[in-house]
Structure 1
């Protein structure tokens, strides 16, 4: 949303929680604000998660004309109720909101409707309303799926019941099934309204899967919240009739960091200028995407967190990728499952346990040669 690493504005430690008086600082410029400046109509449907403790933090004050969705994560996918317990009190309430030009409203009418289906319908409504306008559209659709809690209507699990015995994995498969259907329905609505032929659809994961919540990163090492490849190696696709024929159906192995979407969308697609008051960390990757070429990115920061949210369980940690090399700092295996190779539960494969010594603080991997991070080279390569 900013094209800048979270360390630039103090949000690198953990997600913003239910009672945390924090948000994306008001002097940070969002992609939606920049796109409005070049004539786009901007709408957000789904999870905001950039703060809500005061009104200026809300999405309709950060560049979006309308917003329908939740402020934080891990809400119930049917009731949209969220509870957070403290030593002396518990906070709970509805987290489903409808922001329009008429004001900020709780979306009581959404209760009982499964989140993926509900958000899909809202996105379809945005597209249908926008089709009557002459402006270009930016629709930001961060679904709640497939985030915990792991829930889905029973009908989406039916195709997999003969193949997956583990109930949580079965539910995860159903969640993905429903998400696939949602993406198809949004795409069909773009076609029905005549917008599809001039639309670029970007689908991107925000992190690796949570293996402790039925996710699967196999054969990569690690899980969500870690700097191992299972935690940071995301997948995605770009779909559009505007793409050159020679790259349709191909796979790009070019580097791309989530910060790159800001300049790629603003400059590469929308024709805006990257004249920011603060330097951005993202790199415009559009030319690399449409030519299936190597990107201009040569290094990226996975993160620096000297005061880990999980203290005292974890100490600070950091990870930097430079060329083929990834350097990580910190005791990353205090909980063994965080640095294991975890196969899907329905497989007959046994988890591979870490072999590194306890209290190890420096890690070095050549990701090009060792993408599964099995051979730590920190002691053998003190100098690259």
Structure 2
């Protein structure tokens, strides 16, 4: 055998070995989710105004689920996609007042993949709990760069959380998040990267060049801003895709694009009924594209939902799911691979309207949709009437009764652990600072929120008598000494009472404390509160002993002091 033959054999052996090594490498995962972007907020879905070429190109090479369902609002959708379970079963019921908090024992995609050697990172919105272990670090993410609440107050040069520290950023927030996600994906380790963009959720802020483009189309300010936000999102998603292509990682990465609920307002949505917060098609049907190495792009008609994401990823990654975890979704891999025997299922929806109740609720399958709102029930044939124009309940009473019975049974099963949110936990040795924001507290007397509803970042006022107070119930996991501060403003001296399990201390505040409002570049007036820089007023040192603690704050005197409270800070 001559040298040329030997060289050829060696080359073939080397090439085959390299191919085997490439195939053995675990697939990476990039999951992109946007906030309040509806099904119709893409040029791919026929929007006549907005331009989304990068997302459209991704769709062309992906498996597109024509009917993909999520929950009507943000936190419930995120709980379900992270766990493969309906949000009610995870403890997440709504979006504020700790109703957004997911129980720490829930298994997330991040925890599942981290156990398999993946590097896990979340960039952007979390919205499943602010304090450890209900924060991203406690739920399986190695790195968190973003914000824990339902929204953030400013999108330019804002402050974010990096793991357990506050950091100042420079630039427009979606651009910043993209930069951080790209840096994270440069690692040679297999990664699960979740980019949870803040837009086009309010406040409506976008660089002028995007806004001006859509304003020139004679659109209202809100739509011009939203479509500008969406175009910026498209450019950032293009940057993520370009990075994967330029580094060769695209050949080894599953890419998912989706949104978390229907549009945050009435605009183009393919003729569907409903918007964000609604249980109708327009409130819960969203774009969902999954690009899988080796799988050609195509569109699938059978419905799928957020509960299917975890089992689908586990199936494609070859990861066995724990037998003791009750996964409500199912792997879409057989359907993606052409399973012609795919069996139809039922998809359940629940929404809170301020107070928790069994309804509004809905149940769907491939053909029918039953909605229950107050005393109003309606049945629609989605195959013949996707715009829900004709209520056919009187013609199909038996079908409606069957669907309602399934919904009631589902609701009972999903809420068997109760709906009370888990307590705030303090005393974890890895956490240097714990924030107790006003919306996480319980209000008594005349105390009320500045922004009425108490969305994220809101604060409380109305301390006009000794009966007016705000309380936080906590679970102390280990005895810990904390310095206590109150983020507050006041215009006159006051005496503040801090109570813990029956013990109280009076803090005299003799000077005025002012909060400085942060300038906001809103294109549209907002319904939420504006951002302030709040003074930290020291209360004193206190030992928190293991067990349940009720911490309350009220006034001893100075009821005309103009007291407003943003949060209590516990610092080791």
Q: TM-score, normalised by structure 1?
A: 0.77
Q: Work out whether residues 252 and 292 of structure 1, in 8 Å CA contact, stay in contact via their aligned partners in 2.
A: no
Q: Deviations over 1:4-32 (max 9, x none)?
A: 001213323x1134xx3862111111111
- Tell which deviates more after alignment, 136-145 or 250-259: 250-259
Cα contact 1:16–1:51 (8 A) shared by 2: no
Q: Indicate if the aligned counterparts of 2:157 and 2:172 stay in contact, CA closer than 8 A.
A: no
**SS across alignment from 1:316:** coil
CA distance in 2 between partners of 1:193 and 1:227 (Å): 42
Partner residue, 1:107: 167
The residue aligned with 1:288 is: 335
Kept after mapping to 1: 8 A contact 2:111/2:139: yes
Could you say what secondary structure the match of 2:397 adopts? Answer: coil
CA 1:168–1:60 in 2, change beyond 3 Å: closer, same or farther?
same
Q: Deviations over 1:100-139 (max 9, x none)?
A: xxxx11022x1x52111111111111112x1xx2x32110
**Aligned twin of 1:16:** 96
Partners of 1:227 and 1:319 within 8 A in 2: yes
Match of 2:361 among 311, 318, 321: 318
Q: Quote the offset at 1:380 in angstroms.
A: 2.3
Counterpart of 2:114 in structure 1 is 36
Quickly say closer, same or farther: Cα 1:77–1:178, change in 2 above 3 A.
farther
Q: Does 1:66 align with 2:143?
A: yes
Structure 1, 319-328 or 173-182: larger mean CA deviation: 319-328
CA distance in 1, matches of 2:340, 2:89: 29
Q: Tell me which of 150, 156, 178 is aligned to 1:120.
A: 178
Change (3 A) 1:293 1:37: farther
Equivalent residue number for residue 3 of structure 1: 84
How many Å separate the matches in 2 of 1:290 and 1:206?
26
Kindly indicate whether the alpha-carbon contact (under 8 Å) linking 2:121 and 2:193 is maintained by their aligned counterparts in 1: yes
* DSSP 3-state at the match of 2:303: coil
Q: 1:151-188, CA deviations, whole angstroms, 9 ceiling, x for partnerless residues? A: 11011234434324311111111101100000010111
Residue 199 in 1 paired to residue 253 in 2?
Answer: yes
Deviation at 1:294, TM superposition (A): 7.4
- Structure 1 residues 192 and 259: CA distance shift in structure 2, 3 A: same
2:318 paired with 1:238: no
CA shift in 2, pair 1:278/1:259, >3 Å: same
Aligned counterparts of 2:107 and 2:153: Cα–Cα separation in 1: 31
The aligned residue for residue 198 of structure 2 is 144
CA drift of 1:259 comes to: 0.7
Does residue 56 of the first structure (1) align with residue 56 of the second (2)?
A: no
CA contact (8 A) 2:92 2:128 kept: no
Distance in 2, Cα, partners of 1:287 & 1:370? 28
Aligned-pair CA distance for 1:199: 1.1
User: How big is each residue's C-alpha offset from its partner over 1:37-83, in whole Å with a ceiling of 9 and x where there is no partner?
Assistant: 2221111111000001x3211111111110100111231342587xx
Q: Distance in 1 between matches of 2:270 and 2:254?
A: 30
Q: Which moved more, 1:148-157 or 1:221-230?
A: 148-157
Report the equivalent of 1:379.
Answer: 394
What secondary structure, in the 3-state scheme, does the structure 2 residue paired with 1:379 have?
A: helix
Tell me by how many angstroms 1:143 deviates: 0.6
Conserved? CA contact 2:100–2:127, under 8 Å: no
Question: Aligned residue for 2:222?
Answer: 168
Contact 1:254 1:294 (8 Å CA) reproduced: no
Deviations, residues 300-321 of structure 1 (Å, cap 9, x unaligned) = 1122x5xx34249x98321111
Consecutive unaligned residues in structure 1, runs of 5 or more = 82-93, 332-359
CA contact (8 A) 1:77 1:114 kept: no
Q: Distance in 1 between matches of 2:325 and 2:237?
A: 34
C-alpha contact 1:315 1:330 (8 A) present in aligned 2: no
**2:341, 2:142 → 1: CA distance?**
36
| Offset of residue 35 of structure 1 | 0.9
Report whether the alignment pairs 1:273 with 2:320: yes
Say if 2:305 is the partner of 1:261: no
C-alpha change, 1:243 and 1:198, in structure 2 (3 Å) is same
Q: Which range moved further: 314-323 or 196-205?
A: 314-323
Looking at secondary structure, tell me which structure has more strand per residue.
2
The higher relative CO (CA closer than 8 Å, separation ≥ 6) is in: 2
**CA separation in 2, counterparts of 1:43 and 1:37?**
14
Instruction: Report the CA distance between 1:379 and its aligned residue.
Output: 2.2
Do 1:202 and 1:237's aligned partners in 2 also have CA atoms closer than 8 Å?
yes
Change (3 A) 1:272 1:7: same
* Displacement of 1:278: 2.8
CA RMSD in angstroms, aligned pairs only: 2.3
Aligned to 1:354: none
Take 1:152 and 1:282, find their aligned partners in 2: how far apart are those partners? 36
